[in-house]
Amino acid sequence: MKKEIEELLFQVIASVGTAKSLYIEAIRESKENNFEKAKEKVEEANIYFLKGHESHGKLIQMDAKDSSVPFSLLLVHAEDLLMSADTFKILSDEFIDLYKKIYK
């Protein structure tokens, strides 16, 4: 069970970490007036974010069944990255819209 939990935690970390980086790249692309490339980055990021979110959901289901998910720094890190990626997801949409207005 512990190995399964750790694998899910690493899936969350890897997936949402990649998503966060891609959201940041999307913001940078939009800053350079490359909106098609920014859109591609956001779409790719959304796929990674969803993968991480699904792994996170599995952890929550496991914990709800029998409280088998132990508190750990790895769990804290996964949760932190998930929330950070979610924030950058929102910010990337806002920045892209803002840069579109600036470049019009």
CATH number of the domain encompassing residue 39? 1.20.58.80
Number of domains in the chain: 1
Q: Give residue 75's domain range.
A: 2-103
Task: Report yes or no: 77 and 12 within 8 Å, Cβ to Cβ.
Answer: no
Interval 98-104 mean pLDDT? 95
Using one digit for the tens of pLDDT, what is the confidence trace for 8-29? 999 999 999 999 999 999 999 9
Which has the minimum average pLDDT: 28-42, 58-72, 78-92? Answer: 58-72
Selected catalytic residue, list 77, 79, 84, 91: 77
Its pTM stands at: 0.92
By C-alpha distance, which of 48, 72, 46 is closest to 59? 72
- 77 as an active site residue: the answer is yes
pLDDT averaged over the chain?
94
Interval 61-80 mean pLDDT? 86
